């Protein structure tokens, strides 16, 4: 049997806070993340303004075995957004944390950037990292060897890789070599034309697992500008 480096003995969970102007029939009392933290992880000023007038809270918490985690995580977000749409509320993904700025009918597992945010705290050292994949029972990802002047291209490859990762996990262990196509990137970024994006432009990546901090280390094999985005 082939060894699987990434642990499968995890119990992932996802939690959303639905914030409303009026109390619902039951109210939870977990303090929401600070506006500064929400902004740090990508929440817009418009969403933060809406949140200020919605002090009441209902939590949605779900847990699932790994084989069902993607669908349970997706459905939990849809349920939270449906409740918010009924109550003119705001949804906070407490796993990141950030405000979910989409409609319930826009939720998609294929659109990878819906499910994580990118931390640029170590960009000067050539590293990008994800926050949010733990909800799927996955390690967070560090992209190593990032060219700081071209980091959007590396972020795009990351989106394509996560798109593939969410589709294949947990049936396939991510460690080893993987191919990311321009179509994967289009799906990962939520491009409406993803289905017609070419698949013949691609880049290979090497994926290693670092057990001590529980991270996937992703290194691109080549220059994404030349492999994917050159005219």
pTM equals: 0.94
The pLDDT-based confidence of 1 (bands split at 50, 70, 90) is very low
Nearest Cα to Cα of residue 207 among 169, 163, 161: 161
Q: Mapping DSSP to helix (H, G, I), strand (E, B) and coil, where does residue 148 land?
A: helix
Cis, peptide link before residue 170, omega less than 30° from 0 = yes
Strand order in the sheet with 13-20: 56-63, 13-20, 90-93, 98-99
> 182-213, pLDDT tens digit by residue?
999 999 999 999 999 999 999 999 999 999 99
Residue 83 predicted with pLDDT over 60? yes
How confident is the prediction for the chain on average, in pLDDT? 95
> 132-154, pLDDT tens digit by residue?
999 999 999 999 999 999 999 99
């Amino acid at each position: 049997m082939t060894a699987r480096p990434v642990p499968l003995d995890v119990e992932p969970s996802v939690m959303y806070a639905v914030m409303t102007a009026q109390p619902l029939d039951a109210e939870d009392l977990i303090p929401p993340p600070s506006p500064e933290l929400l902004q740090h992880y990508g929440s817009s000023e418009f969403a933060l303004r809406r949140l200020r007038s919605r002090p009441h809270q209902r939590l949605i918490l779900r847990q699932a075995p790994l084989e069902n985690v993607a669908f349970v995580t997706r459905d939990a977000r849809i349920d939270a957004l449906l409740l918010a749409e009924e109550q003119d509320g705001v949804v906070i993904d407490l796993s990141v944390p950030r405000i979910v700025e989409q409609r319930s009918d826009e939720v998609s597992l294929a659109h990878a950037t819906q499910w994580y945010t990118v931390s640029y705290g170590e960009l000067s050292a050539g590293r990008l990292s994800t926050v949010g994949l733990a909800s799927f029972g996955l390690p967070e990802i560090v992209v190593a060897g990032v060219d700081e002047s071209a980091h959007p291209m590396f972020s795009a490859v990351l989106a394509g890789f996560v798109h593939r990762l969410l589709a294949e996990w947990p049936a396939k262990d991510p460690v080893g070599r993987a191919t990311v196509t321009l179509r994967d990137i289009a799906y990962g970024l939520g491009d409406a034309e993803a289905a017609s994006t070419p698949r013949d432009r691609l880049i290979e990546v090497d994926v290693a697992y670092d057990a001590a901090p529980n991270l996937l280390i992703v290194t691109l094999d080549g220059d994404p500008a030349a492999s994917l985005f050159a005219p």
